[in-house]
Amino acid sequence: MKKAIFASAHAYDSPFKLGDHHYAKLLSQKGYEILWLDMPTSYIYYFKDKENYYKDYDLSKSSPRKVDDNIYEYCPYTYLPYIRIKPLDSIFVGKNSLQLCNRNLKKFFDRAGYGECDLLWISNPKYTYLDKFVQSKCIIHRMGDDFSKFDGLPSSFMDLELRLIEKSNIYYVTAKSLMDKYSQIKKPKYLSNGCDYKHFQKNSYDFPMEYIKYETMKKVLYVGAIDSWFDLELLKYSVEENEEVQFFIIGPNRISLDVLKHYKNVHILGKRNYKDIPNYMYYSDLGIIPFKINDLTMSVNPIKLFEYSACGVPTIVTDMQEVSFTLENLRNMPIYIAKDKIEFSNYIKSINKTDEDSRILKQFAEENSWDKRIEMVCSDIASYKNGDE
């Protein structure tokens, strides 16, 4: 069996399944044994999230833990955390953080059977120098976001990513706006996000208990992280202008939602298990992606656009560049791009789900499934190994 290491910024059991999760799962079904590396942990995280700290610390001391068929998980523990606190944000720390772990990583990978692997898939630049500890036949870097627009990262973080681009054999971007950004270093391949289409197709769906009182009312759903890019002002306006519509919000919030809590038609549900998300989507009338328009979201290719579509749910989204690119050559798609908060609210008021909408959206989602994306990845890996690139 071939061996692959996925170096991610998220735990394998994250409440949201992002691109790396799906690529790892699909490769595990195509003859690869996967070692999934969580974000490196350290003593500094004890003060941020004790529960996760202890979980990661225990994992750092153990053998790789089996989390799925042919998928194992491990979390390195470093005594030299690479974070946005001087002097720990320097390129020196970024290069050497993995050298000072609670166990020798080279010996760990050798004993675990990954000292020599077929594929090193790195989406988290904190793992740029992982190749010091393992030998790999192919290194893939997948750029899922424009990290230069994120707050809270080490000041030298982009230097690490540039070095990762240089050493990668295959380099993907998920947004067309990123195609030219680093092309002077290496020309990337465009690999859009997608969806696990089959996950959202069920013989029967369970009606969410939170919907029971509102069965006959229009239900608008947001599923995803709630962070600085979430446009609270826009959503607040839409809630006030559509008092007869019920708004359901699912996902971990890293910003306060207090401004929404006193509205009777807003239901903040918090985290939900990924396996239950299809139920909430299927029985909703509209999906929304209310993101602010700024430098960060200019390069966001929202997975939820494809997941709402997989459940046949029309989507209203703010004027995000990548969504416009996705819909560029498609006609009559029940996906509505709102130029401002007034248009966003008016779409909520006027758009209703139809059977024909659902058919069109499901076809769109199936054509943009992770299964389609992995075909390109496997072809690129084969071409590289055959010397075609």
Residues 124 and 265 in one domain: no
- The SS3 call for residue 210 is helix
Residues 109 and 47 in one domain: yes
CB 281 within 8 A of CB 200: yes
Q: What is the mean pLDDT of residues 55-61?
A: 96
| Count of other CB atoms within 10 angstroms of residue 355 | 8
Query: Tokens 């600085």 identify what position?
Result: 228
Phi and psi for 230 in degrees, rounded to 5?
Answer: -80, 125
Domains: count for the chain: 2
Residues 288 and 380 in one domain: no
CB 318 within 8 A of CB 231: yes
Pairing mode, strands 71-74 and 65-68: antiparallel
Whether the CA torsion 207, 211, 212, 216 is positive or negative: it is: negative
pLDDT at residue 199 in the model: 97
Q: What CATH number has the domain bearing residue 265?
A: 3.40.50.2000
How far is 128 from 123, CA to CA, in rounded Å? 9
How far is 210 from 131, CA to CA, in rounded Å? 48
Phi and psi for 284 in degrees, rounded to 5?
Answer: -95, 160
Residue 389 has pLDDT above 60, yes or no: no
Name beta bridge partners: 219.
246
Name beta bridge partners: 190.
173
pLDDT at residue 320 in the model: 96
Residues 167 and 208 in one domain: no
pLDDT 10s digits, 94-115: 999 999 999 999 999 999 999 9
- The SS3 call for residue 245 is coil
Residues 361 and 374 in one domain: no
For the chain, the residue count is 389
Token output for 237: 């306006």
- Which amino acid is located at 95 in the chain? K
pLDDT at residue 86 in the model: 95
- Which amino acid is located at 192 in the chain? S
Residue 7 has pLDDT above 60, yes or no: yes
Residues 156 and 216 in one domain: no
Residue 47 has pLDDT above 60, yes or no: yes
How far is 256 from 302, CA to CA, in rounded Å? 22
How far is 277 from 33, CA to CA, in rounded Å? 28
Residue 276 has pLDDT above 60, yes or no: yes
Residues 190 and 260 in one domain: no
Q: What is the dihedral of CA 357, 359, 365, 369, to 10 degrees?
A: 170
How far is 114 from 301, CA to CA, in rounded Å? 32
94 is in which domain, residue-wise? 2-194+370-385
| Count of other CB atoms within 10 angstroms of residue 210 | 15
pLDDT at residue 16 in the model: 82
pLDDT at residue 388 in the model: 64
CA–chain centroid gap for 134, Å, is 26
Give the chain's mean pLDDT.
96
pLDDT 10s digits, 192-215: 999 999 999 999 999 999 999 999
pLDDT 10s digits, 69-97: 999 999 999 999 999 999 999 999 999 99
Phi and psi for 309 in degrees, rounded to 5?
Answer: -65, -35
Residue 12 has pLDDT above 70, yes or no: yes
Residues 165 and 290 in one domain: no
pLDDT at residue 138 in the model: 98
Residues 292 and 303 in one domain: yes
Phi and psi for 76 in degrees, rounded to 5?
Answer: -65, 145
Residues 251 and 340 in one domain: yes
Q: Lowest mean pLDDT of 202-206, 295-299, 357-361, name the range.
A: 295-299
pLDDT 10s digits, 231-271: 999 999 999 999 999 999 999 999 999 999 999 999 999 99
pLDDT at residue 226 in the model: 96
Residues 333 and 355 in one domain: yes
Residues 38 and 105 in one domain: yes
- The SS3 call for residue 302 is coil
